[in-house]
Amino acid sequence: MTVKFIESCKLPTPFGIFDMHGFQDEQDPTKEHVVLTMGDIKLDEPVLARVHSECLTGDGLFSLRCDCGAQLQAAMHKISQEGRGVIFYLRQEGRGIGLLNKIRAYHLQDAGADTVEANERLGFGADMRDYRMLRPMLDHFGIRQLRLMTNNPRKVNALTDLGIDVVERMPHETGRNPHNADYLRTKKGKLGHLLDE
């Protein structure tokens, strides 16, 4: 998977001023990824990082069905506190099945399916995300080592398989509420996420 760098700009946010960098998938130009950076990420020491898959419902519409929006905001806050870090915002809505299929999956969840069962009933795997675009992005920035904010050991393994040095997994648990209790239980029980009860 090849992505090309397009352009950078400043992005003022409630958490501080980030630099926003745009990348485009060369095989599918409709896939546009964003990287947010703060501080000097090219230092030799490992950089605080979040690999975040797009979630319009959680990130932009404030849905309480998941913990995605809370995780994104928490990552931005932690990076601003540290003054140095990177967020890879990947266009992989609905664990890779797309927005409309995610809505179909939500409909099945409304009828009692969990997130994994809903995806499988639609003919998808439990998690269809692909992280191969990270390798050229990391190379672009000269990043060698990550301190990764995630609860997902599969994500750590996927990055390690790509030759990315994850020197530390930092627990990133936030956004628990009554509407996402079953969602988080499924994440832990069926997808192996490292979450407290």
pLDDT digit of tens for each residue in the chain (197 aa)? Answer: 689 999 999 999 999 999 999 999 988 888 899 999 999 998 788 999 999 999 999 999 999 988 889 999 999 999 999 999 999 999 998 888 889 999 999 999 899 988 888 889 999 987 888 898 999 999 999 998 999 999 888 889 888 988 889 999 998 877 678 876 766 677 666 566 665 66
Q: How many residues does the chain have?
A: 197
- Which one of the listed residues 25, 84, 129, 144 is annotated catalytic? 129
pLDDT of residue 171: 87
The yes-or-no answer on residue 144 being catalytic is: no
Residue 124 neighbours by CB distance under 10 Å: 18
State the DSSP H helix or E strand holding residue 25, giving kind and residue range, or none if neither.
strand 16-25
pLDDT of residue 2: 85
Binding residue per annotation — 9? no
Residue 80 neighbours by CB distance under 10 Å: 18
- Which one of the listed residues 114, 127, 154, 182 is annotated catalytic? 127
Torsion of CA 87, 179, 60, 54, to 10 degrees: 40
pLDDT of residue 174: 76
Q: Where are the extended beta strands (E) located within 26-144?
A: 32-38, 47-53, 85-90
pLDDT of residue 191: 60
Binding residue per annotation — 160? no
Nearest to 46 by CA among 173, 164, 151: 164
Binding residue per annotation — 66? yes
Binding residue per annotation — 115? yes
Name the burial class of residue 191, with classes exposed (0-12), middle (13-18) and buried (19+) by CB atoms within 10 angstroms of its CB.
middle
Residue 49 neighbours by CB distance under 10 Å: 28
Q: Where are the extended beta strands (E) located within 65-138?
A: 85-90
The yes-or-no answer on residue 59 being catalytic is: no
Asked if 161 contacts 184 with a C-beta cutoff of 8 angstroms, the reply is: no
Binding residue per annotation — 186? no
- Domain 18-92+129-173 class, CATH top level: alpha beta
Asked if 47 contacts 85 with a C-beta cutoff of 8 angstroms, the reply is: yes
Binding residue per annotation — 8? no
